[in-house]
Every structure is written in C-alpha cells, then in structure tokens.
Amino acid sequence: RGRQYSPPAAMVLQRLAAQFRRWRRQRAKQRKGVDMNLGHLDAKGGASGGKAEEPASCSAVLALARPFFLGSSTRRKALLLAMSLVVFLLTESGVLVYYSSVQKNYMTALQGKDIDGFYSGLYQTGGLILLASPVIAVHHLLAGVLKLEWRKLLTRRFAHAYLAGSGDGVFYRLQLTGEIDNPDQRICQDINDFVEITASLFEETLGTSFTVLGFAGVMYRISPVVCFSVIGYALLGTLVTALGFGPWIMFYQSRCIRQEAGLRYSLIRVRENAESIAFFKGGDAELAHFEDLFQSLAATIYRSILVRTGLSTFNRSFHFVTFAVAPLTVGPAYLRGEIEFGATAQAAMAFNAILVGLMLIMNRLEALSNFSVRVRRLHTLDMALQREGLRVKVSQLSGAGATCIASIELPPTSPVVLQMHEMTLRTPPREACLQQTLAERLSLQLSGGQTLLIAGDSGIGKSSLLRAAAGLWSDGSGSIGLCGGSSVFFMPQKPYMFTGTMREQLLYPDVNRPSVDSAVLEEALSEVGLGYLLEHHSLWDCKEWGGLLSLGEQQRINFARVLLKPDVRLALIDEGTSACDPNNEARLYGLLQQRIGSYVSVGHRPALQQHHSHALWLQRPKGSAGRSAAHGPACITLLPMAEYQRQQAEAQAQLIGRAPRGL
C-alpha cells in the first residue's frame, strides 16, 4: 500500500495476495468444520497435527482434471480416450437392455413349451455374448490407458512443482513451515488413488446412467407404478445413507490416513537415526512412542468399524427388502393375465438394474469418502505449491524487497560476490509459532578474494543468515545479491548423500555431467584426503554411502564436489568441517582459498579464524539492566578479523575479571 510497482510485479503480487486470501478462508473453514466433541481423536494424529480435511469441492476436482483434459499437450488424447470409453459403455448398456428382451422371449417360450422359440433365444444369447466379450475387453483397455496417462501427467506436474529448480527450495519451504503433511505420500499414493477412484466412478456413473435409462423404459412399459416406486425407494435409501453415514465415514477416513502416515513416519525416523538411538539405548522410548501412535490409530479404526457395520447392516437390509418388492409388484399382473410369464423375468431384471444403478452412492459411499479426502489433500498441496512458486517469482521482481527479501543476480563482471542491502530477516511462518526478527537492516558487501566468518552464540541466527544468503529463507525485507546461481555452492553440516555411484556422489547435483574424466575425480578424492576409498570401492560402485561413510568423510566428499565445479565463485559453509580433525580442516580451507577465493562460513572453532579475512559478529541485544535479552534482532558488527580477535580477547579478559575469586 502506497508503493509503486512495475506492471509485472503488481500482477504477480495481486495473484499472490488472492492465493493467500483463498488459503486463509480455507483454513478458517477447516477450524469451523471440526467437531469439538471428537477433538480427542486428533491426539498423536501424525505429522498433520490433527487438522481436519474439508469435503472435496467440484472446483477442486476440476482443478485436478483440467490439466489433463484441457491441457494443450494432452487434450486430444484425453478427450479421445474419454469419448471412446463413453461409446463402449453405451454399447455395453445397449447389449444388456437388448438381452432383457431376448430373455423375456425365451422364458415365455419355455413356459409355453415352444422349442423353436426357446432355442432361438439361446442362439441370440450366444450371439450377444460373442458381441459383448470384445466390447468389454476394449472398454477395460481404454479405462486402464486413461488412468495411466492421467496419473503420469498429474505425478509429473506435482513432482516438477515440488522438486524442479532446486534453487527455488519449494520442497524445503513446505517442510520448514509444516503446512503440508506428508507431501511424498500425496504425490505417490494420493494421486494414484484419486485417478483410480475418479475413473472408476466416472465409468460406473455413466454405465449405470445408461442402464437405468434403458431399463426405465422397459419397466415403464410393463408398469409405470413399479417404475416410479423403485426410483423413489432407491432415492430414499441413498438420502439416508449419504446424510446419516457419509460424514462419519469421511471423518474417520481422514483420521486414519493421517495417523497411518504418522505411524510410518515414526519408523522412518528410527531408520534414519538408528545409530544415535542405539547410542542412547532409546529403543524402549521409540517403542513407547510407537505404541501411543498405534493405540490412537487402533481407536480410530475401531470407531470406523462401528460406523461401517451400521452402513453394511442398513445396505443389506435395504437389499433384502427388494427380494419381495419385485414379485409383489409384477406377480398380480401376471396372475390376472395382463402380462406374459417372460415379462416377469424381464421386470425382475429391470427392477434390479434400476435399483443397483440408483443405489450407486449407497454401495460406493466408502469409495466416495476416500475420494473426497484424496481430492482435498491434493488440492491443498497444489495450492501450496502454486503459492510458493509465486513467492519465488515475487522475490525475483523489482520492488519485491518491500514484501519479502528480494533475490538479485549480480552481473558476471562484478567483483562483488555477495551483497546485502537493508536486509531484515524473519523466521518462516509456522502454525502456532510467532515469527521472530533475527536481523534488522543489515547491509554488507563481500568482494572476490574476501572471506567471511559468521560468529556468535549458539541459537542467535548464524545459520539462518546463511540460509537467507542461499535463498532458502526469504521472509523479511531488503535484498540479497549473489553472483550467478551456478556460481554459488552451499555446504551444510550434514551433506546429502545421493543414492547412486561414487562418481555421482562427487558430481552431485550435476550427476549426468559426462565430460569429467575418472582421473579428475580420483584426484579430487586424493586432494580432500579420501584417496584410500578407492582401495575398497570403485567410482562405479552403487552403495548406501550415507551409512557407509562417517560424517567427516561425507563433509570431505562435499568439499570434493565444490572443487569439481569449475564455475564456483562463492561457497556458503554451515559448519561444514565440524566433524573433521584440525589437519583436514586446514587442508580443506586451503584448497578453497586456492580454487575459489571467497566463502562464508559458520562455525565455533577458534581455529577457523585464521582462514577468514573478516568476521560478522552476532551478539544478543542488551536489556534494560545491561544483560543480554532473550528476544529481538541480534546486534551485528562487520569487522576485519584482526579487530574481531582483539575485541574477543578483551571481552574474554573482562569475563575472567568479573569471575568470583577462588574459582
């Protein structure tokens, strides 16, 4: 408000604001839609925190269907498959309706002991079977291909929005805010379930619609009263089922999905942190946590079983009543001689076909509930991915520094590799957590050949500044300028070990770079002190490197990666040598000074000071009594390393001087 933006920036900001308002409205509906009497079921509900899922809306379904059926690259194939499927469903229904007439004729011939009429009906039945068999085969083939193509498009679309462009960090942002639980499950499992259920419901709805329309005419010709009676009876059962059982089944379906995901996640954490848990002898604690989660899930499943038992009892009783309805409605007409004997069999067949078609919702209520949950989960993920994508675009536009930290790419000819201008950094928003301001109006500039050590107490925000420099955190204002994206290499404390060969480990993230000779890779390993690995493993060995290599070895692999990238001008190191011994640490920083020249480090070891030209000193703000305050932006000072060391020595001397005597 009160600021002027370029037209592209204004357009994107308006779209982001609309997405945010829509998200707020949905969150408000979610909170209102939860029955407080059932809130105890959310305890230990998994990573979602127990949030309820809204029922699926038509707009959400259309949003998931539109890219496949209206997208420029898939529209023709999708519509051709759908139209062909409709044609074969209509053919199946026509064959079934015609068979009822054939059945009527040969049943009447059987009752009249007409041998020629009876065998003629059997021959016609055989011809219909020969016609229907290939129709049914092609129908199932078309349905399978339609589901596969739709799933391929949706999976690739969501995966691309979630993973593509690692610099955007959308997957990191979603994990950081905790807004979306289990995005991996949504992309892999929920998309498959959504496509399977949607396509099946589409087939069943169309097939039953054609069947009901065909048999309604047959039934109306036999008895208009019976025709309208069966329609009313089926609609009454559908209404009772949908309103009486539908909300409860959907409620427990949603809870089960999230609690099962939380249960799996607890075991995944044990697998990923097996060594630490074994050192702490924490198996009993993990088992107790697992038992709590499983007990909560079992309680939800038990209540779900009770609801499903009621639904099954109602459906069976409803179906049993129909066994007497058809004979009671058609039998008197036959006894009065108004209809033939074969018409009773045709009426019974038509009655059952109409009843089953109109009771589709009753019979498929659990599938519809599952469908609703999957649609909502996918739709919320889709909205979150779009919103984070817009956030990235906003951060790259001129004027974006007023709403979030603007990301600026410095010219290739610029001697500056890192520049912060009036940057205010806040923690990312999380539900039930207040955002904190970590740094306020920070400005600095790092030129090629200069190195910077970010120093300060633990928890003050050193790594957060590095995340902001890497573009992972963007909440705040101001701007950060970096040399070209491929010229910056981020080195975390625990490097990511790619699932692949040793060669791919060294080239990550450019694992398909073919121009690097094996001798160059072997030399890089030797330079970082890992040449001995080649005595036991080759570059083409594919192993679980994360469990095979120690943390110190993994950190040296990360240094080998940066040495193998020819265009790196700046390295961002977040305690990247914390697991290395002093000799290896000195060797690694010496290699960086020779090959790159500029890097920014976070670390606590005093030995790191000798490898940096400047220090960015973060100190906690002083309270009213001169003590360090617990909250508020840090006091940040940029100093030459010699000056920083001098001030550190003075502060240490004052601390020792204030210590009580005798200690």
Q: Each residue of 608-621: pLDDT tens digit?
A: 999 999 999 998 88
* Per-residue confidence (pLDDT) for residue 526, from 0 to 100: 94
pLDDT digits (tens, 9 = 90+) for 354-405: 666 666 666 666 777 777 778 888 888 888 888 777 766 665 555 555 567 8
pLDDT for residue 15 is more than 80: no
SS3 295: helix
Q: How many other CB atoms are found less than 10 A from the CB of residue 225?
A: 11
Task: For 58-252+331-394, give the CATH class.
Answer: mainly alpha
Q: Which of 9-13, 153-157, 221-225, 601-605 has the lowest mean pLDDT?
A: 9-13
Q: Vertex 438, ends 654 and 619: CA angle to 5°?
A: 5
Q: Shortest CA distance to 367 belongs to which of 202, 139, 148, 187? A: 202
Position 620 scores a pLDDT of 84
Q: Which residue has the higher pLDDT, 599 or 474?
A: 599
Domain boundary assignment for the chain? 58-252+331-394, 406-498+546-657
Mean pLDDT of 277-296: 86
CATH number of 406-498+546-657: 3.40.50.300
Q: pLDDT band at residue 43, thresholds of 50, 70 and 90?
A: very low
Q: In the predicted model, is pLDDT for residue 553 greater than 90?
A: yes
Least confident of 8-12, 291-295, 502-506: 8-12
The yes-or-no verdict on residue 649 having pLDDT over 50 is yes
DSSP state letter for 637 = E
- Average pLDDT, integer, range 212-216: 74
Share the mean pLDDT of the chain. Answer: 79
Contact between 54 and 29 under an 8 Å Cβ cutoff? The reply is yes
Q: 152: exposed, middle or buried (C-beta count within 10 Å: 0-12, 13-18, 19+)?
A: middle
Sign of CA dihedral 323, 324, 329, 334: positive
Sheet holding 476-482, edge to edge: 406-409, 476-482, 416-426, 437-447
Task: Please give the pLDDT value at position 33.
Answer: 41
Measured CA to CA, the distance from residue 194 to residue 155 in angstroms comes to 11
Residue 265 CA to residue 287 CA, distance in Å, equals 13
| Count of residues making up the chain | 663
Please tell me which residue, 307 or 346, carries the higher pLDDT value: 307
17 or 635: whose pLDDT is higher?
635
Q: Which residue has the higher pLDDT, 400 or 423?
A: 423
**What pLDDT is recorded for position 48?**
39
Between 174 and 452, where is the model more confident?
Answer: 452
Residue 17 clears pLDDT 70, i.e. is over it: no
- The stretch 299-311 carries a mean pLDDT of 88
Residue 10, pLDDT score: 56
